[in-house]
Chain A
Amino acid sequence: MKRCSLILIALLITACSSNNIADHTTIIGRMDNISITDLRSAIGPNQLLVAQATFHNDGNNPQNGYYRCQFFDVNKMQVGDPQPWQLITIYPGEDQTVKCLASQLEATNFKVEFSADGKNVSVYDYKK
């Protein structure tokens, strides 16, 4: 029974490791009412890194933000090309989760870049 529990705990730790949020995030410009409440990563079925970030909106209105992920190898070298910025809408009081999937086995670490302020991310808006 003890052995089973130990194996189970070891498996859980390997499969789902929580990360220090500050070490894995780059905040660009304002955050407004948005906060990153959880960050975790796991190794997927194909031995590839999966990163997950949870955003929370403490305000009273839905808020848009922009995010993207970057992956790094053991030597902190970037793996793959920079990704396009993605829009995310976070509703008041709600946790919104995004997943980033590495496509290279070399990816062992990740960073989530986030900005609630479109002015600090290149955004081209339609103006009449």
Chain B
Amino acid sequence: MNSIYLKSTLLLSTVILLAGCASPQISYVDPNAVNNLTTNFSQNDLRSVAQDMSASLIQSGKMNRCKSFTISPVKNDTDQYVDTSVMTNAMADALTNSSAVNSVYVVSTQEMSNQTGELDRQDKSGYYDQSTTAKTGKMRGAQCRIDGSLTNSTSVGPDGKTTLVSYTFFVQVFDVEQGAAVWRNSKSISKAKTY
């Protein structure tokens, strides 16, 4: 009887201990924290480079040469999945909200479908009072287009213990009609993993 009781207690204690060890802790953390968990291009890296680029572009004053602008999708030339829409959105936010930029953001390629869908719904569906609807053919064209790409290269040490991953984010602003570059800049970051 004693032996069965002892065994059961031991088993129960082990289960409780294991369950206790395995349960993860969840908490809110500072979104601006430094993320050294991976050498992949993290969300913090995305925000950080987009913010740096936007600040440089705003400081240059070159955006005010464009009455309106749009942003093309950032080309992901890395070997990783990177949600580059975070970069384009962060740049569009910074430029639109800056009191030093007079240029107006107009719909991008990705937003076009929603925009034309709404225009068609209002102007062509026949459901609306035409005196209150937005009309097709009046959308504002972008004088300038912001284009970007993200590339990476990986180097592994001869002993395989150190991996260095370097990323370069390249941004340029084009005058759409002339095809001339108004502004260009690049920013690099490197991350290392050492065993």
Contact = CB atoms under 8 A, between A and B. Distances in A.
B180 interface: no
A126 B165 CA distance: 15
A61 interface: no
B14 interface: no
B12 interface: no
Interface in A16-68: 44-48, 50, 66, 68
A104 B59 contact: no
B98 to A, nearest CB: 5
Nearest to B34: A123
A98 to B, nearest CB: 11
Interface string A117-128: 010011111101
Interface in A78-128: 82-87, 101-106, 118, 121-126, 128
Interface of B: 29-30, 32-38, 44, 47-48, 51, 54-56, 58-61, 64, 94, 98-100, 193, 195
Given A121-B33, A123-B33, A84 B47 contact: yes
B193 A45 contact: no
B59 A103 contact: yes
Q: How many of chain A's residues touch chain B, expressed as a range?
A: 20 to 34
Contact of A122 (B32, B37, B48, B60): B32
Contacts of A86: 48
B35 A124 contact: yes
Contacts of A104: 98-100
Contacts of B37: 124-126
B32 A103 contact: no
B32 A83 contact: yes
B100 A46 contact: yes
A124 B33 contact: yes
Given A83-B32, A84-B47, A106-B99, A48 B38 contact: no
B32 A48 contact: no
* Residue in A83, A86, A122, A124 with the greatest tally of chain B CB atoms within 10 Å: A124
Contacts of A118: 34
Contacts of B34: 66, 84-85, 87, 118, 121-124
A83 B59 contact: no
A87 B35 CA distance: 11
Contact of A103 (B30, B33, B55): B55
A82 B43 CA distance: 15
B51 A83 contact: yes
A46 B33 contact: no
A103 B100 contact: yes
Contacts of B64: 46
A126 B59 CA distance: 36
B179 to A, nearest CB: 25
A28 to B, nearest CB: 12
A126 B94 CA distance: 31
Given A48-B100, A84-B44, A84-B48, A103 B58 contact: yes
